[in-house]
Structure 1
Amino acid sequence: MYTVDLHAHTRFFHGRRALGDRFDPLGARLLARAAGRRGLEGVATTNHDYYTPLDPPGGAQTIPGIEITTDQGHVLVVGPDPPSATKPGALSPAEAVALAHDRDCAAIVAHPFRNSSVRELEEVPFDAIEVNGKHPRSRPLVEELAAERDLPLVGGSDAHYPFEVGRAYTVVEADRFTPEAVVDAIRDGRVSARVADSPLDRLLRRAYRVIHRHKHVIDAIERPTPGVGTPPGED
């Protein structure tokens, strides 16, 4: 049995690919060490729309992955051979899943209740649904969705900073710990999601709730009032 965070990023910023490519090796080392300190055997590097092979020494083992931005939300692709790059919004969820399966990877619904309508697609053959570490209070909804679709639950922190690693993670029942074995366990349902509940994790969750509440207030203040100085269709 092994524990792995199936959703983590090697950088805390998006875009600026050239800068990110230089930063990613350091970011991967920090992720692996943070995951190791958490007692995890592995962490998947699932950067937005690209995958760079990174296997830093020390800490937890890194598992290849990518977070694909489809035209309806995000899909995690984890396994031995994820695509090296995808164009944001260019693929449908069904196309992202087909791409994952063609490359012997698992396709996972990422944060199904945040900025996504992927969960509404009953006909797409996903392999699992994620309990996301950024908002674990949505877990009852995610569990209900997984039960409806007869899909296993996996856990991922959605970390963009190393200290966030492991706030949600996946228990994998397998005899060995390889990307192929992780994919097989997901497809066979030999996985389960866990949410960390240490004092640090509880403090982080409270801090993020405050940050998001302030963000929503600022967004509401800055958003133009419909019909007041706003052209039709642009509110």
Structure 2
Amino acid sequence: MYLVDLHAHTRFFHGHRSLGDRFDPLGARVLTEMAARRGLDGVATTNHDYYTHLNTAADAVTLPGIEITTDRGHVLVIGPDPPAETKPGALSPAEAVALAHDRDCAAIVAHPFRNSTVRELTAVPFDAIEVNGKHPRSRPLVEKLASERNLPLVGGSDAHYPFEVGRAYTIVECDRLTPEAVVEAIRDGRVEAQVSRSTLDEVVRRGYRAVHRRKRVIDAIERPTPGVGTPPGEESTE
């Protein structure tokens, strides 16, 4: 049994690819060191629309992954051979899942009730659905969705800062912590989503709730027409 955060990022900013490429080795090292401190055995690096192989010497294993921005929302691809780069919005969820499966990776619905309508696609063969660490209060909705789709639940922190890693994670039942073993465990349902309730995690979540509330107020001022400008599923976040 291993504890693995299946959704984390090696940088706290988006864009600026050349700068990010130089920062990523440091970000990965700090991320895995923090994961080990929090008692995790591994963490998947799922940067937005690209994957770079990074060697780390920390106690936590680094698993390959990518967070693909499809035309309907985000899909996590985790496994031995994720795509090196994808163009944001260029793939449909079905195409992202096919790409993942062609590369022997698992395809996971990321934060299904935040900025996403991926959850509405019942015919796409996803491997799991994520309980996201940014808004664990949506878990009952995610559990219902997973039950309807007969899919397992996994947990990921969606960390963009190292101190966020581990606020949600996955218990993985396997003999060895390898990308191939994790994919097999997800597909077999030998995984379980967990949410950390530490004091730090609760403080961080309260901060995010305040930011989200302020953002919705600003959106309402700028776009006063009801329902206009609200990302799909945003109403279900913290």
**2:148, 2:11 → 1: CA distance?**
34
Alignment-derived partner of residue 206 in structure 1: 206
- 1:17 and 2:17 equivalent? yes
**1:225, 1:191 → 2: CA distance?**
43
8 A contact 1:35–1:166 mirrored in 2: yes
Matches of residues 1-235 of structure 1 in structure 2 within 5 Å? 1-223=1-223
Amino acid at match of 2:97: V
Amino acid at match of 2:114: R
8 A contact 1:34–1:59 mirrored in 2: no
Deviating more after overlay: 53-62 vs 160-169: 53-62
Q: Secondary structure of the residue that 1:12 maps to in structure 2? A: coil
Deviations 1:74-104 (A, max 9, x none): 0000000000000001101000000000000
**1:63, 1:194 → 2: CA distance?**
18
Amino acid at match of 1:82: P
**1:45, 1:202 → 2: CA distance?**
23
TM-score by length of 1: 0.94
Q: Secondary structure of the residue that 2:87 maps to in structure 1? A: coil
Give the drift of 1:225.
5.8
Deviations 1:39-93 (A, max 9, x none): 0000000000000001211131110000000010000000000000000011010
**2:166, 2:172 → 1: CA distance?**
14
**2:221, 2:147 → 1: CA distance?**
39
CA RMSD of superposed structures (Å): 1.1
Q: How many pairs are equivalent? A: 226
Give the drift of 1:219.
2.2
**2:225, 2:216 → 1: CA distance?**
15
Identity %: 81
Amino acid at match of 1:47: N
**1:97, 1:225 → 2: CA distance?**
35
**2:33, 2:222 → 1: CA distance?**
40
8 A contact 1:55–1:61 mirrored in 2: no
Structure 2 portions without partners, runs of 5+? 227-238
Deviations 1:186-222 (A, max 9, x none): 0000000000001111111111111111121122223
Give the drift of 1:224.
6.3
TM-score by length of 2: 0.93
